[in-house]
Chain A
Amino acid sequence: MTPVVECLVAFLFGSVAGLLMQRSRFCNTAALRDAIMFKTYRNTKAMLVAMMILSVGFTGFMSVGAGHPLQFDVGLNTFAGLFLFGIGMVLAGACTVSTWVKAGEGNIGALWALIFTFVGMFLFSLVWSASWWPPAPETMTGQINLAALQLGFANAQTMQDKFGIPAVVFGLVQTALLFALYRGILRRERAQHAEHEKHQKEHLKKKAATAATVEA
């Protein structure tokens, strides 16, 4: 595909994704924050469903060598970077997805978050240019490099090559684990619902009893 066609396909995908997210109010930040702070799982469940579909889909195609998996070494920076990101997204009340979606709805705060995401990226470019860490993609080896705090590269494809088991088998195991988590959330929601109903009944009973006493 030529770069122009790639850009058009990407724009089309982005537009549909943006529309669906705007209509569903999906937010990746909420998927994590609400589960942690408020024990509500509306967005968490949607995220898990997408991850289940993708786990089967991606590993299925990777089994036959199709698709374009991401290729770069990971290490301490992967954990540390997303740790900072996690704090930032809760403070900003938006992540990479919802900043674009909310900006499209006219949210100036989201646009402001986006501008400072760019500023943060530029600041990192200055830090990197002084520290040269994490290693640039061209110097990545795919192997463990403890001096650079890098663990190399591994995914379903490399596991298939190493163990001779199709990548999709690993994908199905992951999907089963995600499904177990999803079921756990549903159980928790049912328990929350039952608890809520119990409280409501008790409240009504108390109200009726008070009314009866007043009448008497």
Chain B
Amino acid sequence: MEFFRKTLDPIIALAAIAVLDIFMFLLMGAWTVGGGETMMTGLMAQAVLGDELQRIPFWNIVFPPHADYWKIYISLGMLFGAFVGAVASKEFYWRVPRHLSEWVLITIGGLLMGFGIRLAYICNVSTFFGLMPEMNLGGYLAMSGIIAGAWVGSMIYKKMLEGDV
């Protein structure tokens, strides 16, 4: 099938996702990832810590873990859809970062992303494909934040490429 042989124009892909996102908005709420990830964190923490988790107020008050939270399944769906796409187009193969520096950067980056999402109560997907189109004040705050952060991150990255850090 042609679809699995050629790279799709991202404008077409995102336009199609946007139309589907409007249906999501009408049914349940706009496309989001961070909320589902938080719930997964809670469920995993519960599996490891059991009742001990109750001692951390965040998981009682802000995000009591429960598995039938629809936002979790958007993320799992993305994983599944991407897997199907990769296999069908023969693009699935194990890619492992080679250098220790890559592992370190990914670890720091992941931690910052997780911490940032929870501090803001939203993720980047909600910022651009939820809050901004709803014209929520938070969308503009978040967008300013992510652009400033991406700029700082890019400067750090550039310095590292140049070998200054």
Q: Does A9 lie at the interface of the complex (its beta carbon under 8 Å from any beta carbon of B)?
A: yes
- The count of A-to-B residue pairs whose CB atoms sit within 8 angstroms is 516
A107 and chain B: residue at smallest CB distance: B95
Give the residues from 65 to 88 in chain A that come closer than 8 angstroms, CB to CB, to chain B. Answer: 66-70, 72, 74-75, 77-88
Chain A residues near B97 (CB, 8 Å)?
Answer: 108-109, 112
CB distance from B36 to the nearest CB of A (A): 8
**Which of A's residues lie within 8 Å of B, judged by CB?**
1, 3-4, 6-26, 28-29, 32-33, 36-37, 42-43, 45-47, 49-51, 53-55, 57-59, 61-62, 66-70, 72, 74-75, 77-97, 99-109, 112-129, 132, 134, 136-138, 151-157, 159, 167, 170-171, 174
Chain A residues near B47 (CB, 8 Å)?
Answer: none
A interface, over-half SS: helix
Chain B residues near A68 (CB, 8 Å)?
Answer: 25-30
A78 to B116, CA, bound (A): 9
CB distance from A158 to the nearest CB of B (A): 9
CB distance from A43 to the nearest CB of B (A): 6
B153 near A70 with CB under 8 A, answer: no
B interface, over-half SS: helix
A52 to B21, CA, bound (A): 12
B75 near A119 with CB under 8 A, answer: no
Give the residues from 118 to 165 in chain B that come closer than 8 angstroms, CB to CB, to chain A. Answer: 118-138, 141-154, 156-158
**Which of B's residues lie within 8 Å of A, judged by CB?**
3-4, 7-31, 33-34, 37-38, 40-42, 44-45, 56-59, 61-63, 68-86, 89, 91-97, 102-103, 105-138, 141-154, 156-158
A49 near B81 with CB under 8 A, answer: no
**Given A7-B73, A18-B80, A58-B25: A96 in contact with B112 (beta carbons within 8 A):** no
Give the most central of B10, B44, B45: most A CB within 10 Å: B10
The residue that A91 contacts in the complex, of B9, B31, B147, B153, with Cβ under 8 A, is B153
B118 near A128 with CB under 8 A, answer: yes
B14 near A26 with CB under 8 A, answer: yes
B153 near A89 with CB under 8 A, answer: yes
CB distance from A206 to the nearest CB of B (A): 29
A210 to B67, CA, bound (A): 71
Chain B residues near A8 (CB, 8 Å)?
Answer: 73
The residue that B117 contacts in the complex, of A17, A81, A107, A126, with Cβ under 8 A, is A81
CB distance from B144 to the nearest CB of A (A): 6
The 8 closest A-B CB pairs, nearest first, are: A86-B149, A14-B77, A120-B114, A81-B120, A92-B109, A18-B81, A116-B110, A88-B112
B70 near A10 with CB under 8 A, answer: yes
